[in-house]
């Protein structure tokens, strides 16, 4: 146990004192999968599902909302992108909310924003209520984007952390696919209402969730008591450390901040939100049947997500991320090439198929790793004393870049369809170099080992 008056080491050292295995890390059944762990992961996966559903909603609902409410292209672009404005607000607050309230109350906060958002959209008569609903969804989604990966990383043994983290992140992509499927056959108001009752029903499990937080790693009672003390110490450290956002840019934390922020920039500026939010428009411009294309994309994303979950703890984060971004680069380039050939009136009979293949490759390979692994790495690399501030910064950067892409995407397509996808493929090319040169491998290491080695500059 941690005795009163005992002086603690730096926050980058292992938090649990050398008591169990002689190397500063407690003895744990690292491979144990308990019912409490599964329950905790299920709760996080449920929240992740709504994150993706919120993003995927705008593509199948586009024609119905525009026709019924008479929105212009600019107004619908605001609807699509305003999710990210709410996201930026949530990103700024996410680290502080999680540090102050803890995981359980934070998940309750998500419930409130999700339910309000979906109900506002479902019963909208004017554009302003659509925007308010979308803002609410964005705020809740951004808070989860921080607390979800951190929560899963904290409760999961090191040898299972990658797989479980990928499973939770994969629910985001799978829910986009579900939104595509259901939206292709469902009225847009019903599509919104489908989600709100599901969150109301989930609230009945909160008592079980609270119990599951007490001991999620299959530890015995003594170690659980130790973990409770460490949790209290961690919260006190986070509240009393007095770290400001500018302190993140000190040399001590420069490497981890560059990696975290860089991955967030490149994840969004590669164009995924444009593909996801406006897939219907892309297929229409390419001359390919939209419904067929969206369903094919949905199936591909689910398959590639499952593959990513299976591979992440065997291949590692970095190799899987490299394969993912190389595939996304090639798919985006192929999509741009199809539109270029269309503009030049060359091989016009094959350009729709070429665009379809390019989109499938991009969406599939992005789902393999780039969609979720940056969030997993973000949850692993920051020491506890800066985790809240650093997580908020990464979250804010991610949502700002998401807003840039989602708002400008339709206007870029009007400017040049081919040029749009060549720009995004160029950014994916930069991401390949960034990952190859800077991103560390975190597979099979405890959070304390990762954070200590990064802070010391030892890779």
Two structure tokens written together for 395: 């979250």
Question: CA 184 to CA 292: how far, in whole Å?
Answer: 9
Q: Is there a common fold for 34-194 and 249-458? A: yes
CB atoms within 10 A of CB 201: 10
CA-wise closest residue to 48 among 209, 210, 173, 193? 173
> How many C-beta atoms surround the C-beta of residue 386 within 10 A?
26
Q: Nearest CA to 365 among 276, 286, 303, 280?
A: 303
The span from the CA of 273 to the CA of 275, in Å, is 5
| pLDDT at res. 232 | 47
Residue 379 has a pLDDT of 82
DSSP 204: G
Contact 398, 264 (CB under 8 A): yes
Calpha distance 159→162 (Å, rounded) = 7
Instruction: Write phi, then psi, for 34 (nearest 5 degrees).
Output: -100, 165
Residues 6+ apart with CB under 8 A from 278: 58, 59, 62, 80, 409, 410, 413
Q: Hey, what are 418's tokens?
A: 């081919």
In the structure encoding, which two tokens stand for residue 344, read together?
A: 């030049």
Predicted local confidence at residue 240, as pLDDT: 41
pLDDT at 286: 92
In sequence order, which ranges of 102-251 are alpha helices (DSSP H)? 103-122, 127-155, 158-183, 188-193, 195-202, 206-212, 221-240
Residues in the chain: 459
Condensed to tens digits (0 to 9), the pLDDT of residues 8-37 reads 444 433 333 333 343 333 333 445 677 777
The predicted pLDDT at position 20 comes to 37
Place of tokens 């992509």: 173
User: Considering the domain 249-458, what is its CATH architecture?
Assistant: Up-down Bundle (1.20)
Choose which CATH entry (1.20.1250.20, 1.10.3720.10, 1.10.443.10, 3.40.50.300) describes domain 34-194.
1.20.1250.20
**Total-model pTM:** 0.70
Q: Which residues contact 207 (CB under 8 A, 6 or more apart)?
A: none
Which residue in the block uniquely carries the two structure tokens 């591979």? 311
Please give the structure tokens belonging to residue 71. 């929105």
Q: Where are the domains of the chain?
A: 34-194, 249-458
Q: What is the pLDDT of residue 456?
A: 63
The pLDDT profile of the chain, 459 residues, written as one tens digit per residue, is 344 444 444 443 333 333 334 333 333 344 567 777 777 788 787 778 878 788 778 777 888 888 888 888 788 878 877 888 888 888 888 878 887 888 778 888 888 898 899 899 989 988 899 999 999 999 988 888 888 877 887 778 777 777 777 777 778 777 877 887 788 778 888 888 876 544 444 444 444 444 444 444 444 444 344 444 444 444 544 444 445 566 777 788 888 899 999 999 999 999 998 888 788 889 999 999 988 898 899 889 889 988 988 888 788 889 999 999 999 999 999 999 999 999 998 888 899 999 999 999 999 999 998 988 998 888 888 887 777 788 888 888 998 998 889 888 888 988 999 999 999 999 999 999 999 999 988 887 777 777 777 766 544
H or E element: which one contains 21? none
Number of CB atoms found within 10 A of residue 441's CB? 14
The CA-atom distances, in angstroms, between 248 and each of 8, 78, 154, 382, 448 are 21, 33, 21, 10, 18
Give the three-state DSSP class for 284. helix
């Amino acid at each position: 146990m941690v005795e009163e008056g005992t002086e603690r080491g730096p926050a980058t050292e292992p938090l649990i004192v050398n008591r169990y295995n002689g190397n500063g890390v407690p003895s744990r059944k690292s491979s144990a999968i308990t019912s409490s762990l599964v329950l905790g992961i299920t709760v996080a996966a449920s929240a992740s599902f709504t994150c993706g559903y919120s993003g995927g909603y705008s593509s199948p609902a586009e024609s119905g909302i525009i026709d019924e409410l008479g929105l212009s292209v600019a107004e619908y672009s605001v609807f699509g992108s305003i999710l990210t404005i709410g996201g930026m607000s949530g990103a700024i607050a996410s680290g502080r909310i999680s540090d102050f309230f803890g995981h359980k109350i934070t998940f309750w906060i998500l419930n409130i924003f999700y339910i309000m958002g979906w109900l506002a959209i479902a019963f909208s008569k004017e554009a302003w209520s659509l925007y308010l609903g979308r803002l609410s969804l964005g705020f809740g989604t951004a808070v989860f984007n921080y607390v979800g990966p951190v929560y899963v990383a904290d409760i999961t043994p090191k040898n299972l952390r990658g797989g479980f983290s990928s499973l939770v992140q994969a629910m985001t992509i799978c829910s986009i696919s579900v939104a595509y499927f259901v939206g292709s056959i469902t009225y847009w108001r019903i599509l919104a209402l489908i989600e709100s009752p599901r969150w109301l029903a989930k609230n009945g499990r909160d008592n079980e969730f609270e119990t599951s937080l007490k001991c999620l790693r299959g530890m015995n009672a003594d170690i659980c008591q130790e973990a409770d003390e460490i949790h209290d110490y961690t919260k006190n450290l986070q509240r009393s450390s007095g770290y400001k956002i500018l302190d993140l840019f000190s040399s001590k934390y420069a490497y981890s901040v560059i990696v975290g922020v860089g991955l967030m920039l490149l994840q969004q500026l590669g164009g995924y939100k444009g593909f996801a939010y406006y897939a219907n428009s892309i297929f229409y411009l390419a001359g390919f049947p939209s419904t067929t294309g969206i369903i094919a994309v949905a199936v591909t994303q689910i398959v590639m997500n499952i593959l990513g979950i299976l591979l992440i703890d065997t291949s590692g984060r970095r190799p899987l991320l490299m394969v993912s971004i190389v595939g996304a680069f090639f798919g985006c380039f192929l999509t741009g090439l199809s539109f270029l050939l269309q503009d030049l009136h060359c091989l016009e009979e094959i350009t729709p198929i070429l665009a379809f293949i390019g989109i499938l490759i991009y969406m599939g390979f992005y789902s393999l790793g780039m969609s979720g692994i940056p969030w997993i790495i973000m949850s692993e690399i920051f020491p506890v004393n800066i985790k809240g501030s650093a997580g908020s910064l990464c979250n804010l950067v991610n949502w700002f870049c998401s807003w840039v892409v989602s708002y400008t995407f339709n206007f870029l397509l009007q400017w040049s369809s081919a040029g749009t996808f060549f720009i995004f493929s160029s950014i994916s090319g930069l991401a390949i170099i960034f990952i190859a040169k800077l991103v560390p491998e975190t597979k099979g290491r405890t959070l304390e080992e990762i954070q200590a080695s990064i802070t010391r500059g030892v890779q």
